[in-house]
A and B are shown apart, each in its own frame.
Chain A
Amino acid sequence: MRALKLAGCFALVVGWVALAWILAGSVVPDGLSLPHVDVDSVFGRDLVDRAERYERLRLVLWVLGTLVTLGTLALYARYGRRFTEESAAGPLGTGMLLGMLGLAIVWLTQLPFAVVELWWSRRHDVSEMGYLEAIFGDWVALGVTFVSVCVALLVVMGLARWLGSWWWIPGAAVLTAIATVVVFVGPYVYPGLERPDDPGLVARYERIERAEGLRGIPLRVESVSEQTSQANAFAFGVGPSRRVVLWDTLLDGRFTDREVDVVLAHEIGHHSRDHIAKAIGWFGLFALPGALLLMLSTRRLGGMGSPQAVPLALLVAAAWTLVTMPAQNLVSRRDEAEADWKALQATHDPEAARGLFREFAATSLGDPSPPTWAYLLLETHPTLEQRVAMADAWAARQGG
Chain B
Amino acid sequence: MRSVSDPTERVHPVRVTVSDDLRRSRITVLFRLLLALPHLVWVSLFGLAAFTLAFVMWLAVLFERRAPASLHGFLAGYTRYTVHLTAYLCLAADPYPSFTGGKPYPVDVEIAPPAIQGRWGAGFRIVLAIPAFLISSTLGGSVALGSAYGGALAGGFGGLTVVVGFLGWFASIARGRMPRGMRDAAVYAIGYGAQTTAYALMLTDRYPDAVPGRVEPSPELPGHPVAITVDDDLRRPRLLVLFRFPLVVPHVLWLTLWFVLVVAAAVAAWLVALVLGRIPRFLHRFIAAFVRACTHLFAFATVVGRQFPGFVGREGGYPIDLTIAPAARQRRLGVLARLVLVVPALLLASAYFGVTIVVAVLCWLVALATGRVPRGMRDLGAASLRYQAQAYGYAFLLTSRYPDSSPALAAPPEAPPALWLEPAEVV
Q: Which of B249, B306, B319 has most chain A Cβ within 10 Å?
A: B249
Instruction: Say yes or no: B237 contacts A86, CB within 8 Å.
Output: yes
Residue of B nearest to A104 (CB): B243
Q: Is the interface of A mostly helix, strand, loop or mixed?
A: helix
Shortest CB distance A100–B (Å)? 6
The docked-state distance in angstroms from the alpha carbon of A178 to that of B104 is: 70
Verify if B352 is at the interface (C-beta below 8 Å from A): no
Residues on B with beta carbons closer than 8 Å to the beta carbon of A146 = 246-247, 249-250
Q: Which of B250, B307, B317, B318 contacts A86 (CB 8 A)?
A: B307
Interface residues contributed by chain A, number (CB under 8 Å): 22
Q: How far is the CB of B368 from chain A (nearest CB, A)?
A: 13
The answer on a CB contact under 8 Å between B311 and A89 is yes
Within 8 A of B (CB), among A77-131: 83, 86-90, 93-94, 96-97, 100-101, 104-105, 108
Contact status B246-A88, CB under 8 Å: no
Task: Closest B residue to A97 by CB, please name it.
Answer: B308
Which of B245, B296, B306, B310 lies in contact with A90, CB distance below 8 A? B310
The minimal Cβ–Cβ distance linking B129 to chain A, given in whole angstroms, is 28
Report B-chain residues with C-beta under 8 Å of the C-beta of A139: 245-246
- Kindly identify which residue among B243, B253, B296, B309 contacts A100, using a CB–CB cutoff of 8 Å: B243
CB of A7 within 8 Å of the partner chain:
no
> Does chain A have a CB within 8 A of B239?
yes
Q: Decide if B240 is an interface residue (CB 8 Å cutoff).
A: yes
Question: Which residues of B are found within 8 Å of A70, using beta-carbon distances?
Answer: none
The closest CB in chain A to the CB of B317 belongs to A88
Residues of A with C-beta under 8 A to B245: 139, 143
Residues of A within 8 A of B242 (CB): 104, 108
Instruction: Pick from A93, A104, A147: contact of B308, CB below 8 A.
Output: A93
Q: Are A89 and B249 in contact (CB under 8 A)?
A: no
Q: Does A179 contact B (CB under 8 A)?
A: no
Per the bound structure, the CA–CA distance linking A97 and B309 in Å amounts to 10
Given contacts A86-B240, A88-B318, A147-B253, are A104 and B310 in contact (CB under 8 A)? no
Asked if A150 is at the interface (CB within 8 A of a chain B CB), the reply is: yes
Bound-complex Cα distance A142 to B317 (A): 27
Determine the chain A residues whose CB is within 8 A of the CB of B237 once the complex forms. 83, 86
Inter-chain contacts of A150 with B (CB < 8 A): 250
Instruction: List, in ascending order, chain B residues with CB within 8 A of A105's CB.
Output: 239
Q: Which residues of A contact B240 (CB under 8 A)?
A: 83, 86, 101
A202 to B242, CA, bound (A): 47
CB pair A104–B239 under 8 Å, yes or no, is yes
Are B253 and A86 within 8 A (Cβ)?
no
Q: Is B246's CB under 8 angstroms from A142's CB?
A: yes
Q: Which residues of A contact B (CB under 8 A)?
A: 83, 86-90, 93-94, 96-97, 100-101, 104-105, 108, 139, 142-144, 146-147, 150
Q: Which 3 A-B pairs have the closest CB atoms?
A: A89-B310, A143-B249, A88-B307
